[in-house]
Structure 1
Amino acid sequence: MRKVLLWMGLAILLQLQLGSAYKLVCYFTNWAQYRPDPAKYSPNNIDPYLCTHLIYAFATMKENKIAPFEWNDESRFFPEFQALKKRNNRLVTLLAIGGWNFDMKTFTQMAASQANRKTFIDSVVAYLRKFEFDGIDLDFEYPGSRGSPPEDKHHFTILIQEMLEAFKVEATSTGKPQLLITAAVAAGKGTIDAGYEIAEIGKLLDFISVMTYDFHGGWDPVTGHNSPLYQGSTDQGDMKYFNSKYAMEYWNNNGVPAEKLLMGFPTYGRTIKLSSSATSVGAPASGAGSAGPYTREAGFWAYYEICTFLRSASVCWINDQKVPYAYKGNEWAGFDNVCSYKHKVKYLKEKKFGGAMVWTIDLDDFLGTFCNEGKYPLITELKRLLETNEPIVADCPKDQSCYTGGGTTTPTPSPPTGPTPNNKFCSGKEDGTYADPADRTKFYMCAGGRTYSFSCPTTLLFDESCTCCNYPKY
């Protein structure tokens, strides 16, 4: 009996020493160094105790071998990144390869043959050991999509299988801890189906980060939130798949153990230009919102840019999706805050997922001077929520109306607007969204027999598979 009590005590002590059982995986981006002061960010800015895992984004590939992307990755940033482990010896660091701007043709070429895959895997082992990373994060966006052929879906599985075997052999021969293999994967159902043999890679990978963000943005014809937790009450067709809950449970239900799945938490928001006086979810939109002064990308604002916008904007809560949005003039922003994080972590814990993934550490208010909410207000709250053993009571916000400068206002309704050139198109049709049969850049919304016409933003075409404007399929 005394031995049992002793072991129980040791187990409790070990848990207290290690902290939360949940992973908190944070990405650092090597292009954050190019932002204007005071938003410029380097590995020296990172708090090494904030996250359990740090992932360096991104490396690239040349001649089937892993390669640095930025000029100072190897000479400065890698050493600074690994020096964080001297301050926190429990910190795990990984190197991500890929990203949205990665040319998938290079992945297709590498993955197509056993010889090319071996060249890549051997280069990864040597590179990770040379620069003291604990593993590789595969962030190819995406096998089977964006120019990647259907066979890349299976090739991705084979690559992971062969990489895992090589990592085991290397660890045995050197006596070093085995390198980790993780992946950042799509959250959209169509992209998941095209790109992943879900159950197979779920057995092989150490953990999987689901990119539960970018569900909506300036590419859509109407406003929608960047990272909703739940399906919206007005979501129709494939739009019902565009939420964090559906994505996480789709991966889980198709064979990935819950404890291996990490839910994505964005520290940024997507901005959209309003094209009418309507302002709520589903309001007509005309492309990406203005670029932020520091991130300088149309339709994309860091949290530290959003919180300054909120001081003079109308801020609203989407009750069915448990996330906020704000608008001022024709600028509309769907973003996350500590309140939406609370709802998301409550859900994450109820489903027993493995933890959270943050994109990115450098987009939070790392100085604490923009938002006056302390340093890293979003990630700090996320860490607290994951570590607490107390039940999470997601009771915020209690006031579900909009407010501006502290005063409440009534949310503006967002019916489709008209008139339209083809006012007979919807006659006899059910309410919904329809392609213009004569012009792929246009579409119609039908409501109560009335016809409302819209045009997709430049370079996009209407896609019936998602009832949205999308990039042309290759």
Structure 2
Amino acid sequence: MNKLLLLTGLVLLLQMQLGSSFKLVCYFTNWAQYYPAPATYMPDNVDPCMCTHLIYAFATMNNNQIAPFEWNDPTLYASFNALKNYNSELKTLLSVGGWNYGTSGFNTMVSSSENRQTFINSVIKFLRQYDFDGLDIDWEYPGDSDRGSPPQTQQQFSVLLQEMHEAFVQEASQSNKPRLLMSAAVSAGKSTIQAGYQIPQLSKYLDLINVMTYDLRGSWEGFTGEDSPLFQGPADQGGYIYFNVDYAMNFWKDNGAAAEKLMVGFPAYGRTFTLSNPANNGLGAPISGAGPAAPYTQEAGFMAYFEICDFLKQDATVVWNSPQAVPYAYKGSQWIGYDNQKSFQIKAEWLMKNNFGGAMVWALPLDDFSGKFCGQGKYPLMNTLKSTLGISFPNCKTPTITVAPNTAQPATAAAPTASGSDGNSGFCVGKGNGLYPNPKNKSGFFNCLNGHTYQESCQTGLVFDSSCNCCNWA
């Protein structure tokens, strides 16, 4: 018995020294810079000592080539990837696509060898230029006719991943740099998975398979339900028995995905509903529509975790849904299905027990990153995952200086081109990456990136405000 205890102790000690084998994959969203203060979120708000992988969402595509989406993406890329200066183990990826991007761009890109090669070449150049460690593809969804993807895109997606992997291996050999990583955000719905993915092929070429095990219920169903239930509910019937984390993750694994590559999706938000009858407020209750837009995220039917904390403070009734291991809450006609620290811990313990690769979180700006809303400290959901999964970075140094957030309207500019016609081409030489006021034009500013000067200007009626590095009313 003493030998067994000693051996167990040595194993635990070794695990502590080697660190956790689980991954914590975290999405950053470039539109959170427009949330009203104090919810405004920038790369400088990211704790570099929290996640193993950070994914920047979203880039777009133009003419089968990857491209920035937001006006200031190149500046944010620099701040985002500078987080690796604090944590040498951190990996950063750039995600292309997203729900709002749709499918037509992906359909065209994968449709021919020439188009795929154009995309892959642009990705390699772009990721190396901006110091990303890999690409994340968020195509929602290949093979999904309801979303506009023809059936052949299922197989074409596999071909893209194979060709991209081969190109990444070749580029790494030629550049003598680590191979660029490949990940994809994929569906958790059984029929969507079957139509969209050749699972063994995806598992062969992807480093991370980020399963979006959330949005499993929403106001589109016509009745209340949990956003990300761990298990099937007692009242679930028909196809609804498939819409839970346990079923979705095991479906991926049982159909050919390597468990260690599968990341379980965790939502730092909830789905909201307006009840048809406030007296009927349980699971499956009829609704009249989505809940109203919350004050910060401003999207009907959606509420960030920090906004949920405010809702709960208003004498809302909280119910623990034990069969599905998640809570829900209601007040008057408003109902929300969501996750909290307790459900995050239970799911994390479940994924560890089932030997999945780790957790993926959508998204960092939705947690109470400042600690001002929930009274649970900074990043309560993220820190629950980090501690449960046993993730630590002994050599990581948390930055002590943060940049003032962008609290006003963004500047508008076309894709920046290096200035020179006005004699300011050398403005950024010797300066750090970032935005600087143009002393000759109150509405203008310079965007400095790696010593290159890009001249941009604010919308009509706005001036550049150095206090927030943003365009503001005069």
Specify if TM > 0.5.
Answer: yes
- Asked if 2 retains the 8 angstrom alpha-carbon contact of 1:220 and 1:287, the reply is no
Query: What is aligned with 1:177?
Result: 178
Query: What is aligned with 1:33?
Result: 33
- Asked if 2 retains the 8 angstrom alpha-carbon contact of 1:210 and 1:248, the reply is yes
Query: What is aligned with 1:49?
Result: 49
Query: What is aligned with 2:217?
Result: 216
Question: Secondary structure of the equivalent of 1:209?
Answer: strand
Deviation at 1:249, TM superposition (A): 0.2
Q: Give the distance between the partners of 1:221 and 1:34, measured in 2 at CA.
A: 31
Q: Give the distance between the partners of 1:148 and 1:228, measured in 2 at CA.
A: 28
Superposed CA deviations along residues 318-371 of structure 1, whole A, max 9, x for unmatched, are 111010000001100001001111211121011100000000011000000100
Q: Residue 67 in 1 paired to residue 50 in 2?
A: no
Deviation at 1:161, TM superposition (A): 0.3
- Asked if 1 retains the 8 angstrom alpha-carbon contact of 2:276 and 2:286, the reply is yes
Question: Secondary structure of the equivalent of 1:371?
Answer: coil
Question: Secondary structure of the equivalent of 2:324?
Answer: coil
- Asked if 1 retains the 8 angstrom alpha-carbon contact of 2:137 and 2:184, the reply is yes
Question: Secondary structure of the equivalent of 1:219?
Answer: helix
Question: Secondary structure of the equivalent of 2:220?
Answer: coil
Deviation at 1:287, TM superposition (A): 1.4
Superposed CA deviations along residues 214-267 of structure 1, whole A, max 9, x for unmatched, are 000111111010000000000000000010000000000000011110100110
- Asked if 2 retains the 8 angstrom alpha-carbon contact of 1:270 and 1:301, the reply is yes
Query: What is aligned with 1:412?
Result: none
Aligned residue pair count = 381
Q: Give the distance between the partners of 2:56 and 2:218, measured in 1 at CA.
A: 25
Superposed CA deviations along residues 402-423 of structure 1, whole A, max 9, x for unmatched, are xxxxxxxxxxxxxxxxxxxxxx
Question: Secondary structure of the equivalent of 1:101?
Answer: helix
Q: Residue 257 in 1 paired to residue 245 in 2?
A: no
Q: Give the distance between the partners of 2:176 and 2:342, measured in 1 at CA.
A: 45
Query: What is aligned with 2:158?
Result: 157
Q: Give the distance between the partners of 1:153 and 1:192, measured in 2 at CA.
A: 10
Deviation at 1:19, TM superposition (A): 2.2
Q: Give the distance between the partners of 1:81 and 1:388, measured in 2 at CA.
A: 21
- Asked if 2 retains the 8 angstrom alpha-carbon contact of 1:223 and 1:283, the reply is yes
Deviation at 1:16, TM superposition (A): 3.7
Structure 1, unaligned stretches of length 5 or more? 1-8, 390-474
Query: What is aligned with 1:281?
Result: 283
Superposed CA deviations along residues 80-101 of structure 1, whole A, max 9, x for unmatched, are 0011000111110000011000
Deviation at 1:144, TM superposition (A): 1.2
Q: Residue 380 in 1 paired to residue 383 in 2?
A: yes
Deviation at 1:113, TM superposition (A): 0.2
Deviation at 1:285, TM superposition (A): 1.0
- Asked if 2 retains the 8 angstrom alpha-carbon contact of 1:220 and 1:285, the reply is no
Question: Secondary structure of the equivalent of 1:347?
Answer: helix
Alignment of 1:20-419 (within 5 A): 20-74=20-74, 76-145=75-144, 146-276=147-277, 277-311=279-313, 312-387=315-390
Q: Give the distance between the partners of 2:341 and 2:329, measured in 1 at CA.
A: 15
What is the TM-score with the length of structure 1 in the denominator? 0.79
Q: Give the distance between the partners of 1:168 and 1:97, measured in 2 at CA.
A: 20
What is the TM-score with the length of structure 2 in the denominator? 0.79
Structure 2, unaligned stretches of length 5 or more? 1-8, 393-474
Q: Give the distance between the partners of 1:86 and 1:137, measured in 2 at CA.
A: 22
Deviation at 1:13, TM superposition (A): 8.0
- Percent sequence identity over aligned pairs: 58
Superposed CA deviations along residues 175-196 of structure 1, whole A, max 9, x for unmatched, are 1000001111000111111110
- Asked if 2 retains the 8 angstrom alpha-carbon contact of 1:26 and 1:360, the reply is yes
- Asked if 1 retains the 8 angstrom alpha-carbon contact of 2:22 and 2:391, the reply is no
1:98/1:17 CA distance change after superposition, 3 Å: farther
Query: What is aligned with 1:465?
Result: none
Question: Secondary structure of the equivalent of 1:294?
Answer: coil
Q: Give the distance between the partners of 1:257 and 1:59, measured in 2 at CA.
A: 28
Q: Give the distance between the partners of 2:11 and 2:320, measured in 1 at CA.
A: 42
Deviation at 1:103, TM superposition (A): 2.8
Q: Give the distance between the partners of 1:123 and 1:354, measured in 2 at CA.
A: 29
Amino acid at match of 1:381: T
Amino acid at match of 2:73: D
1:10/1:279 CA distance change after superposition, 3 Å: closer
Q: Give the distance between the partners of 2:338 and 2:15, measured in 1 at CA.
A: 34
Amino acid at match of 2:243: F
Q: Give the distance between the partners of 2:175 and 2:41, measured in 1 at CA.
A: 35
Query: What is aligned with 1:406?
Result: none
Amino acid at match of 1:318: N
- Asked if 2 retains the 8 angstrom alpha-carbon contact of 1:183 and 1:208, the reply is yes
Q: Give the distance between the partners of 2:49 and 2:18, measured in 1 at CA.
A: 12
Q: Give the distance between the partners of 2:18 and 2:26, measured in 1 at CA.
A: 18
Alignment of 1:384-463 (within 5 A): 384-387=387-390
Deviation at 1:308, TM superposition (A): 1.1
Q: Give the distance between the partners of 1:273 and 1:306, measured in 2 at CA.
A: 15
1:62/1:17 CA distance change after superposition, 3 Å: farther
Question: Secondary structure of the equivalent of 1:304?
Answer: helix
- Asked if 2 retains the 8 angstrom alpha-carbon contact of 1:48 and 1:84, the reply is yes
Deviation at 1:102, TM superposition (A): 0.8
Amino acid at match of 2:20: S
1:179/1:14 CA distance change after superposition, 3 Å: farther
Deviation at 1:275, TM superposition (A): 0.4
- Asked if 1 retains the 8 angstrom alpha-carbon contact of 2:19 and 2:391, the reply is no
Q: Give the distance between the partners of 2:10 and 2:44, measured in 1 at CA.
A: 36
Q: Give the distance between the partners of 2:240 and 2:10, measured in 1 at CA.
A: 49
Q: Give the distance between the partners of 1:132 and 1:262, measured in 2 at CA.
A: 24
Q: Give the distance between the partners of 2:273 and 2:36, measured in 1 at CA.
A: 23
Amino acid at match of 1:255: G
Question: Secondary structure of the equivalent of 2:371?
Answer: coil
Amino acid at match of 1:295: T
Alpha-carbon RMSD across the aligned residues, in angstroms, is 1.7
